[in-house]
Structure 1
């Protein structure tokens, strides 16, 4: 199982206590998934059950395994240097460093695991929750942002929890149990002792023994960190430490964490894009992979591919249904709002298309196909959860309601607050103009936001970039360490570059940075409006229109290498006139964020003309295109408004 042993243990396929061994479940998996299929199945289950997002960022447990790997490297280096008789420094300090690293890994893992599980619980109001979950709080400002769909619940709650746990430590067993009581009703150490005993019944272990071991490990770590591991019997020397003691400590901590995972059980299930909604009905038998027989696979455990999906549509779909599904499928690739396909991993072939829907991305539609039936699911619930407006969803439902079976769907969706994923049946998909109806409705949904958009871009943490940005007509961000942003063709490539440039940054920090940098280089477009709250002119905001694509200027100082050209329309709009809802967005701690709600773009455009925010329902609000033209005309010949260009 190579480096995947820890992942396999977290799923119950292997055990760690007193050395690695395979479980009966693991043996069955080896029999059931031949060849390399075992690795794909392990990765799939681990990703789904441990909050690990494929192609994105490592989950808490994977980070923990990596951090323990660093500790083991320190032990390995110390052992080799000890054999060489190096006397230039105390080689055993490497064992102490490994000890400290292993305990820090435990502390970090507990924090992240609690946060991940708390966020999962928050997103599923019907899931049972422990009493202590209610002790987790979120600032009113973030609550309001979630309520206005200005920030997804997951991001807002995660940010609040990271702040809540920022100065808490989870090294002592009592603190660890207290932390997990926020997200689980399990009697932690009693259950962990049971799991460890199950792994080696010949050596039963009690909860008190686990607590004792962890307490001693934490106490030794503190002694190492705070007193250089002094010997209490003599302050002139350190306590003795051996390579075996360091290795055993790392092994104990790894075993305990695996047992904690098994004791807590799986977190609330993540959204499963591979499974059709129940209301889609039976699809019949699941088609085999197109090349399953040729490769001799007994039971394919696919991540379906485009080839296998299209093969299934061609082989099992009536031609008129297949034509409609293929037209919708190909339409996605040509749309500027398209982001990616997700090919399913369930029994039935499936594909889900992700699009930008304003401030966020959403899984807009999914195709599921079986031997008897194929459907197109319109994912209203997932779009609503990602910030799509009710008006946009209502227009989509009405446009598609001309197809069979959808006559009453707009009213039903409205009554259910769009918390549904209704499917178009083969009868509806077979209609000659079905593809035109569906694609037209999707175009309306996805291009409703084609008018100029508004963004907030800061001029540096202390406003250090503002003067030059205003003088030369540009917006500027940092992150010069990753170089030319144009060379990163995907979010994953950019995320990896950020991880390489900032190896000590946590995964959620990297995710946050990646989103902001990607927006600056790829999503802001010419014609968009930009607001820059000013620290150099406190209480005011500069407003401009983006007039250029992203530029990398490697010969400039590091703070001025990532640039977009801007025509400043106003440099002195007073923040005092900005209504509370829009001001909350302008107060975002992000360097770059989309101002997407409550007519933000129209209001920013009006402020560029009048210096005053008309509010979300201002009577004098007109189109953002017209206002931008007015502001541009007013700025001609006016050095103050032209930004010195």
Structure 2
């Protein structure tokens, strides 16, 4: 019998025990329940080299893998998730173990060859810490007095913190290397702070060393003397490779695992800070008691085990928050299932020179030309509707035009916590397709439940009726492509755009904005009485007529021919926010010149409206429900108040947690302050001559 066949029933019963429990279970209780429900093979009941029963060591290790995939959680005990329950149903017998191995290796083992990946090393190192605790327990039972047995617990504590430090370093390096191999993909701003010696750059340039190897060597040198034990340092390290607001998202993940015991980002920071300080005390002062240098602080096996469990849970939540490491993605290559797209269309700007491919990258002009030239009109209409929808959506972050054989474009959107490539268009002379990039969204941390709803919304299209089931089996590791027949349906674009909008709406989180009520506050009384936010620029007319930023800029230039280019760009940004970026449910703050030293706070309830029948100062409006009309400005803390001092008519309050804080001020009259790391206070530069004020 193979090892997989031996361990598979044990792993399966472990998940079934958790499913039947319906609530978190202590690991010891899980162990007892599993032993009652399945016959353990004799060779798995013997102790391993460290004195732990082999089958239980395997369960601890494999459940760590399952937790990293989201099948189960290990916070406040062990529990199974909805994904884990579905996996039990979808993969019978030994198949569940095979699926665990497949997904884990695909999503967590990033290093080449047999060298273990960062998270697997972390699990092993935490295993060593647990073995030290078990050894201490055994020696305590034997009454060993030759040395202080509790020093084994201190060694375990130190080992667990060192394991976290090492894992964070390796995880950052792995993700940095992955990003370095993806030119053109969106990257965090701090990624540019990573440096590579000229000697390594030259090796790569001369093809003497692969980029992956050279950049990894540079990163190992860059992070060689950095430590990642304190939560602020951990967040700072991951900011090089991710845009995720780390501790806020980790807190959300951990709370989801046990809603009965919610946890905040500040509480996680406090917990990790205390663990790191205790480690430093052990390493540098032999864990002395601050009340007496003649004795050490008390420490117990249970206390250390709990610390190890916390560090394991936090690391798993970090992995889930960051999303899978981006695969070596080539946006220029369509999925294999698409098949042949036919001959390569001529690149229009190169075609004029009489060559097929004259440029290294496809352009919008050539892509649109190919759609117009080779697509049936109904297919082209659908693809163009999807394409134009992207640039008008507030979550849109940019296009990547391919440099492969066929014209292609991939659209990136904000998912609320990160950015993801949601769809791609590929076109050839015989066929054009729309690929929905479920795999790339999953890799960027979009939750499975949102992807499931998205798949169901698209399943009404021909050929995609079984889409939800097919995607669930692979854990959304697919990029399904629509057929031309589906794209040719009269309502295909409506179905696709409605599904996209629903997905992006679920990804969005409420934001906070400042909108002024006139240079002298002249619009404030009516705005408060009628539930409105109002801006000027009546000269431009109905702003909904302008579907792109460029069209809006051209309208502003026509209305204000003497305005400088910088002024036009500034006004365009403000009006685009007012009409497009501000969403229902967002919060708005209006500083009151009619009531100096006070602000009004409301929630946006309606879309942009143009009211030409109203006086010129009340033609550009949005409806809002005012929550508070007389909040003293003094209750707003300095960092958030800085945003309210902007001279702009419309600006987003981009301090961390601004929306949460504004909501709290509206509800309680107090500002709780920022809870996430690193406040950012910058917005657009203001212009002194602003007709919207």
Q: TM-score range by the shorter chain?
A: 0.3 to 0.5
TM-score by length of 2: 0.40
